[in-house]
Amino acid sequence: MRIVLVHPAGSNWIPGRPDVTTAANRMAPIGILSMAAFLGNGPHEIHVHDCLGPFAPTGHEANALAILALDPDLVGFSTTTSAFLDACDMAGLIKEARPGVRTVFGGVHVSAMGAELLHRFPVIDCLVVGEGEQTLAELAEGRDPASIDGLIWRDGESVAVNPPRQHLPELDDLPFPSYEKLTGFPGRYRLPPFSYVDVPGATLITSRGCVYQCSYCDRSVFHRGFRFNSADYIYEHLRFLSTRFGVRHVNVYDDLFTTNRARIEALCLRLAREPLQLRFNCAVHAGHADDGLLELLRDARCLMISIGIESGDPELLERHKASVTLDQVRDTVRRIQAHGLRAKGLFMMGLPGETPATVERTAAFVLSLGLDDMNMSKFTPFPGAPCWETIRDHGAFDEDWRRMNCLNFVFVPKDFESCDQLDRSYNRFVRSFYTDKKWRRKALSRTWQHRNTLWHMLVNARSFMAARRYFDSNR
């Protein structure tokens, strides 16, 4: 069977503004690359089409034609909320040209919404819910759909919902993602600005699930358990990226990378003993970064550590991320930097209960931390998150899936008058961080270290200037 796995472009910026996201940060779609590797163990011919890739055409029609040119029997779309409708548009064009092609949708949006999507969107033949490797493999083998756990499918005129798929018990049994199927990898893919020293870069995920339940986080795919790759598996994965593709920096995007202390200790000790020609970034949970752990990460050539903070207002933090306190955040940032590592704070604006006063408190808290970098996302209520069912009780919600990408305000808390007011607060917040004299002095001292980022920004100056004009016009 010829299978094409598709990463839809979706809506990745602000309507009416030039999309600069791929110039700043183009990530390899690890989910479908992992799926491609798993399916590649069978008798199938597997292709990957990244609609955000460096050589992908523009628009639904052109991407549908590129997919059809691969002569697929089955097309699998991995969808977020903001990319779902783009995937449907492409699926419709594919079905119109070749009605016999089977269209399969998976991903977080599908897992959260379930059977409703088949009722609403006739271009979809079936849904893969939850962890998808085995489910899609059994479907590709031609098994009776009624016997495939984790599948929602059309049974004549009705929609059948099969039992859920049990999670894979051992993640080390999975092959490394099929990076080689990604045109332009790794050189034309890019980590976020100033998050790396050497190029090229890549991304890595070494665990699935999370033991916490923040109000805004959708756990529909991997749920609240925690499974992880072993230290030896991660080391071999890093070595594969280094030797096969020349990767020199890796961003580890696990929510809970350091939760299992034993595996991180073993990994860091091996990286220190048998060094690879790369650095890496990771994340820690505030309050769970002792001096010994940070020393291990530093010696293993970790460059930067991210911390999920979300808000500088204690009441908002208690409401939405109860496992973190501001004192823990302060202590964790201090410890990270004391060991010569960079600290990056991850924040979120517009949560239910946000007010102009809480935004000001968060802005003051951020500046007080002396962070090396910061990312502020725009709160987006997602299906499957704990806050989803009651979101309209706390403000105005425009359920526009294309704009639900953490880059647009689709929810306005009761204490704000409009999205425009939120946007102005957001832009002032971001500008206050990057114009802070202490941060600028720190950034200037690292000019040579960040020569690769600066060169990339110069080459793509038009896109970066467009983003700056947007911020300047919305103070």
The domains located in the chain, with CATH, are 2-161 (3.40.50.280), 191-472 (3.20.20.70)
- DSSP structure string for 433-447: HHT-HHHHHHHHHTT
| pLDDT at residue 10 greater than cutoff 90 | no
Q: Which residue has the higher pLDDT, 226 or 139?
A: 139
> What percentage of the chain exceeds 70 in pLDDT?
96
**What's the average model confidence in pLDDT over 434-447?**
95
| pLDDT at residue 281 greater than cutoff 70 | yes
| pLDDT at residue 473 greater than cutoff 70 | no
Closest Cα partner for 229 from 257, 210, 253, 201? 257
CA dist 255 and 78 (Å) reads: 20
**What's the average model confidence in pLDDT over 348-369?**
97
As given in the structure block, the two tokens for residue 275 are 């060094």
Write down the pLDDT at residue 86: 95
Angle (CA) 11 16 22, round 5° = 45
**What's the average model confidence in pLDDT over 289-306?**
96
pLDDT band at residue 426 under the 50/70/90 scheme: very high
| pLDDT at residue 139 greater than cutoff 80 | yes
Query: Exposed, middle or buried by CB within 10 Å (0-12, 13-18, 19+), for 223?
Result: middle
Closest Cα partner for 339 from 301, 296, 299, 295? 295
**Tokens 């060169």 belong to residue:** 455
CA dist 384 and 250 (Å) reads: 29
Q: 3-state DSSP call for residue 83?
A: helix
Buried b (16+ CB within 10 A) or exposed e, 276-313: bebbbbbbbbbeebeeebbebbbebbbbbbbbbbbbbb
What are phi and psi for residue 305, nearest 5 degrees? -120, 130
Report the first-to-last Cα separation within the chain, whole angstroms.
54
Query: Exposed, middle or buried by CB within 10 Å (0-12, 13-18, 19+), for 60?
Result: buried
Helix (H) or strand (E) holding 183: none
What are phi and psi for residue 41, nearest 5 degrees? -75, -10
| pLDDT at residue 475 greater than cutoff 70 | no
| pLDDT at residue 92 greater than cutoff 80 | yes
| Rounded-to-10 torsion of CA 114, 120, 121, 125 | 50
| Rounded-to-10 torsion of CA 321, 323, 326, 332 | -120
pLDDT tens digits along 100-124: 999 999 999 999 999 999 999 999 9
**What's the average model confidence in pLDDT over 466-474?**
66
